[in-house]
């Protein structure tokens, strides 16, 4: 871990056009303060990668509402009518990925695998343009790794080294995204001294985190 | 007479096995949790990352970090385990999920399910549905038999399939149907529904061995 | 979780010739009481899968010493001279797998993937007989999933539902093996009532565990 | 004069960067931890599942659940993180490990390393070595220049390679050598060792630009 920055500083570090992974599941466990700062700075042309686009007033939904986003890779956009509308008008490009495949593609990107073979999506539109590999008589799609310029995580606790914990269903995509971006920024609910989080409770080692977002003012 | 959704949920509940891990889709399938038979211990998974969740907590006691896959507040039961999305789908895809109950738009004669998109309409996305159908040991479709009078069980899907895999069972308010190598087998009919009525409401050939038994359902008294 | 059994009952459930994954790294975090019971019942022809074969008097090394084992899949056998000796005499068949590949193959077997693409082993003996797949100009080995009849785990705590925790470096291969066997038997240091392990501390959900080995007498 | 292993470890220690994650192989590479330069904060990983470990604890205070990849008892430093083998190799293979220091049997003119097996002798197994060479951002080989007088740096490996990947740097008690597209470049010579002596002890062509500088090493006074 390098330093502790404000949400505004984090938003300023992220250029227009960047690709960003966002933790969160319908807004639960999403880095809300950095999202607000991205909206405030008027970010444009972002590619956002995450489970869903939440709701127009929640989580990454705010980015879509504010016109910050050009591309979406997600498993579900049904809870955000604005995503739907902008997709139809062509303002937004949306790639839908099955949820488990999205998680594994991000994992592959973060742990140095060239791809994974999954049964999910075989015989569906998801298989279009993809290589199908037969293993012992079963068919699998070859799915490619996913990485991004930035990963914006919401954590529960962080210590001064950047070690992170998560809380209940707010973990969701956050832990895997910590592996898969060139710059990882974590927004914890609380920052505690080194030693407060025992080694076995650490769910994201601090070596993966580049910046912490400073405590709530 | 009970309404269609309740009949379906009560019948699907009889498919629950002791010591099993089950994932219920959003909507109708969620109702199944209300009719777990007495003596059956089921662990429910929510794919956003928990096994062992319960009913919404009392007003004011919700945790912002604890919701189900539909975004609704839930509680955690003693012995619950929480985990991230990678682990959640490792459970689903790896064959550790004994059963998933999903809603359906169409099921065809080959047993394939369409339940994620209607071309030309709003595109919600498949969410976890494709992984659930590909990975769960048993896939039970819980859906109404017809949509505004039109059969949802048809010869060949005209909506995009959710998976190439055949589902295990289809439960409607009229019938219980099992897709097999030979075709769709009519296993049970709902109380007060005749075989002729089922056939008339179904757009695919049904395999019928004599008069099928009447659908048992979990009664109010038997639900835990 | 189904029930709580003695180490002897566990050993009796495992037939000669079975394939077994063993948690443990040089004997640390290995299910020692079930291993002793397997030695005591004179098990024969086992296939053992794990990081290493420990030492002749430790961990799975005891099984090799006692002649229980026919096949070994491991990343390292250098600390056990008996493994070396029996390999040379042909009493033992040994397949060496790079440590990270072993972990990913077990993971693939446990989470329903048809295989993984890893850069590890490309251009080495490990690549012999395996498909090499080019992705964006880089070469990857297609490595196949690994599963076993049994997984024998060492855990720190278990609750009455079979939820498990692990301790420091004693976790090693245990958590991933919990996904990859038809029958999972966990040997905890301590068994505690449901509710004692908070949901966020659970590292192996109890639904993956079939049997617990009862408390130390 | 310091012994060969100490010279190597002290020189390799100068490759450590602030805020980096480093994995040290068993044997000679482990010595590097003793010479971390002042002001440099390094996190050491042990591939059996911990970041942030320290020296063995006092006699009688060892934990049976806390060892390094060689099986020796260690301590955990404040801020340590423990994890399973899958996560450990996700860190290694995913490019999160800034540097690994490994022992070597041979390095050849193309920069390939052999360090895991001598055919006809005991076969220890590759352990984590193949993943470390394939995945670490920088691979530094720390080895003695010769083995009983025979060069270990040679034109072409005659032992099985650990990886097809070129290593980043080779540090011996005589020289620092960088494998490049053009070949093996002699970067530094050890104090009191001449270029001629290095060439005579090396079985591969070295690229030499004039008189290479004398190898700096971490002095006892500079080690943290």
At D117 the pLDDT is 87
∠ Cα D88 A74 D97 (to 5°) = 20
Instruction: Pick the closest to residue B136 from A115, C112, D124, D188 (CA basis).
Output: C112
Residues in chain B within 8 Å Cβ distance of A166:
84
D134 min Cα distance to partner chain A (Å): 9
Instruction: Pick the closest to residue C100 from D170, B88, D95 (CA basis).
Output: D95
At D224 the pLDDT is 56
Is C148 within a domain? Answer: yes
| Half-sphere exposure at residue A155, Cβ-oriented, CA atoms within 13 angstroms | 35
Q: Which of B27, B57, B85, B126 to mutate to test the interface with A (most CBs of A within 10 A)?
A: B85
In chain B, the residue whose alpha carbon lies closest to the alpha carbon of A108 is: B86
Is D221 within a domain? Answer: no
Q: Based on the structure, what is the number of domains in chain C?
A: 1
Contact across the interface for D124 and C76, Cβ inside 8 Å: yes
The sign of the torsion formed by the CA atoms of D40, D46, D47, D51 equals negative
C196 min Cα distance to partner chain B (Å): 8
ipTM value, please give it.
0.97
Residues in chain B where the model's pLDDT stays below 50:
1
Over residues C70-108, the pLDDT tens digits come to: 999 999 999 999 999 999 999 999 999 999 999 999 999
CB C48 within 8 A of CB C71: yes
Over residues D138-168, the pLDDT tens digits come to: 999 999 999 999 999 999 999 999 999 999 9
- DSSP secondary structure string for all residues of C136-161: TTEEEEEE----EEEEEEEEEEEETT
At D2 the pLDDT is 64
Is D63 within a domain? Answer: yes
Contact across the interface for D82 and A160, Cβ inside 8 Å: no
Where does chain A show beta strands of DSSP type E?
3-5, 19-22, 46-49, 69-74, 93-96, 115-118, 132-135, 138-143, 148-159, 181-192, 211-213
Instruction: Pick the closest to residue A189 from A210, A168, A173 (CA basis).
Output: A168
Sheet containing D113-114: order of strands: D113-114, D106-108, D153-154
Count, in order, helices (H) and strands (E) of chain D. 4, 15
- Mean pLDDT taken over chain C: 97
Contact across the interface for A207 and D78, Cβ inside 8 Å: no
Instruction: Pick the closest to residue A72 from A53, A94, A52 (CA basis).
Output: A94
Is D147 within a domain? Answer: yes
Q: D19: domain CATH number?
A: 3.40.1080.10
Is B177 within a domain? Answer: yes
Q: Which helix (H) or strand (E) holds D142?
A: strand D138-142
Over residues B146-181, the pLDDT tens digits come to: 999 999 999 999 999 999 999 999 999 999 999 999
Q: What distance in Å separates the CA atoms of residue B3 and residue A91, rounded to the nearest whole number?
A: 43
CB D140 within 8 A of CB D132: no
At B1 the pLDDT is 43
Cβ count near D151 (within 10 Å): 15
CB A207 within 8 A of CB D43: yes
At B118 the pLDDT is 83
Q: How far is CA D77 from each of CA A162, A165, D71, D80, rounded to the nearest angstrom?
A: 15, 18, 18, 6
pLDDT over 90 (residue D5):
yes
Query: How confident is residue D121, by pLDDT bands cut at 50, 70 and 90?
Result: confident
Where does chain C show beta strands of DSSP type E?
3-5, 19-22, 46-49, 69-74, 93-96, 115-118, 132-135, 138-143, 148-159, 181-192, 211-213
Residues in chain A where the model's pLDDT stays below 70:
none
At D219 the pLDDT is 75
Residues in chain D within 8 Å Cβ distance of A202:
80-83
CB A58 within 8 A of CB A27: yes
Is A77 within a domain? Answer: yes
Q: A28: domain CATH number?
A: 3.40.1080.10
Rg (chain D; Cα; Å): 17
DSSP state at residue A107: H
Residues of the domain holding D118: 4-212
Contact across the interface for A77 and B124, Cβ inside 8 Å: yes
Instruction: Pick the closest to residue C113 from A70, A120, B11 (CA basis).
Output: A120
| Backbone angle region of D5, left / alpha / beta, with phi > 0 → left and psi within -120 to 50 → alpha | alpha
Report residue B82 CA to chain centroid gap: 23
Give the pairing of strands B146-147 and B184-189.
Answer: unpaired
Our answer on whether A and B touch (3+ beta-carbon pairs < 8 Å) is yes
Where does B126-216 show beta strands of DSSP type E?
138-142, 146-147, 150-151, 153-154, 169-171, 175-179, 184-189, 206-207
Where does chain B show beta strands of DSSP type E?
20-24, 42-46, 50-54, 75-82, 99-102, 106-108, 113-114, 138-142, 146-147, 150-151, 153-154, 169-171, 175-179, 184-189, 206-207
Is C126 within a domain? Answer: no
Assign B37 to helix, strand or coil: strand
CB A74 within 8 A of CB A22: no
Q: What distance in Å separates the CA atoms of residue A78 and residue A57, rounded to the nearest whole number?
A: 14
Annotated catalytic residue B59: no
Q: Which of B27-41, C8-22, C156-170 has the lowest mean pLDDT?
A: B27-41
Provide the H-helix boundaries in A66-139.
81-89, 99-110
Contacts of D39 (CB under 8 A, 6+ apart): D18, D224
Give the pairing of strands D175-179 and D184-189.
Answer: antiparallel
Q: Based on the structure, what is the number of domains in chain D?
A: 1
Residues of the domain holding A159: 3-114+144-213
User: Residue B200: is it exposed, middle or buried by C-beta count within 10 angstroms (0-12/13-18/19+)?
Assistant: exposed
Residues in chain C within 8 Å Cβ distance of B79:
159-161, 163, 194-195, 206
Is B222 within a domain? Answer: no
Q: Which of A37-41, D123-127, D219-223 has the lowest mean pLDDT?
A: D219-223
Sheet containing C19-22: order of strands: C3-5, C211-213, C181-192, C148-159, C19-22, C46-49, C69-74, C93-96
At A62 the pLDDT is 98
Is B219 within a domain? Answer: no
At C146 the pLDDT is 98
Q: Which is catalytic among the residues D6, D15, D47, D221? A: D47
D65 touches chain A (CB under 8 A): no
Contact across the interface for A133 and C113, Cβ inside 8 Å: no
Assign A158 to helix, strand or coil: strand
Instruction: Pick the closest to residue B78 from C163, C166, C102 (CA basis).
Output: C163
Provide the H-helix boundaries in A126-214.
174-177
Is B138 within a domain? Answer: yes
Rg (chain A; Cα; Å): 17
What residues are paired with C139 via a beta bridge? Answer: C134
Is D222 within a domain? Answer: no
Q: What distance in Å separates the CA atoms of residue C107 and residue C126, rounded to the nearest whole number?
A: 19
């Amino acid at each position: 871990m390098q330093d502790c920055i404000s949400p505004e500083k984090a938003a300023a570090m992220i250029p227009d056009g960047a690709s960003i992974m966002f933790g969160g599941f319908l807004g639960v466990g999403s880095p809300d303060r950095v999202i607000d700062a991205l909206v405030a700075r008027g970010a444009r042309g972002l590619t956002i990668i995450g489970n869903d686009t939440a709701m127009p007033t929640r989580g990454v939904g705010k980015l879509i509402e504010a016109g910050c986003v050009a591309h979406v890779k997600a498993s579900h956009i049904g809870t955000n009518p604005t995503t739907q509308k902008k997709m139809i008008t062509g303002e937004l490009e949306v790639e839908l990925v099955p949820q488990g495949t999205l998680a594994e593609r991000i994992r592959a990107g973060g742990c140095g695998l060239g791809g994974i073979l999954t049964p999910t999506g075989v015989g569906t539109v998801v298989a279009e343009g993809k290589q199908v590999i037969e293993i012992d008589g079963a068919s699998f799609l070859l799915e490619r790794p996913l990485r991004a310029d930035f990963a914006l995580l919401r954590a529960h606790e962080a210590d001064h080294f950047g070690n992170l914990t998560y809380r209940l269903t707010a973990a969701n995509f956050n832990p895997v995204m910590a592996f898969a971006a060139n710059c990882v920024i974590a927004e914890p609910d609380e920052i505690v001294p080194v030693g407060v989080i025992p080694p076995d409770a650490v769910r994201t080692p601090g070596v993966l985190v580049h910046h912490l977002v400073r405590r709530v003012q | 007479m009970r309404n269609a959704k309740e009949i379906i949920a009560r019948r699907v509940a009889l498919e629950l096995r002791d010591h099993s891990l089950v994932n219920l889709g959003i909507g109708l399938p969620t109702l199944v949790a209300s009719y777990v038979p007495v003596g059956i211990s089921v662990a429910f998974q929510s794919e956003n990352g928990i096994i062992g969740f319960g009913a919404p907590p009392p007003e004011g006691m919700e945790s912002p970090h604890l919701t189900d896959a539909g975004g609704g507040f839930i509680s955690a039961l003693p012995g619950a385990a929480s985990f991230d999305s990678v682990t959640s789908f490792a459970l689903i895809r790896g064959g550790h999920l004994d059963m998933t109950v999903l809603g359906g738009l169409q099921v065809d004669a080959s047993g394939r399910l369409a339940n994620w998109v209607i071309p030309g309409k709003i595109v919600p996305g498949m969410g976890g549905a494709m992984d659930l159908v590909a990975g769960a040991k048993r896939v039970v479709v819980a859906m109404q038999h017809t949509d505004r009078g039109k059969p949802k069980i048809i010869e060949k899907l005209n909506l995009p399939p959710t998976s190439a895999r055949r589902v295990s069972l289809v439960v409607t308010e009229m019938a219980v149907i099992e897709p097999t190598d030979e075709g769709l087998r009519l296993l049970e009919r709902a109380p007060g529904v005749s075989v002729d009525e089922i056939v008339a409401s179904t757009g695919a050939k049904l395999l019928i061995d004599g008069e099928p038994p009447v659908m048992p359902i979990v009664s109010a008294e038997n639900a835990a």
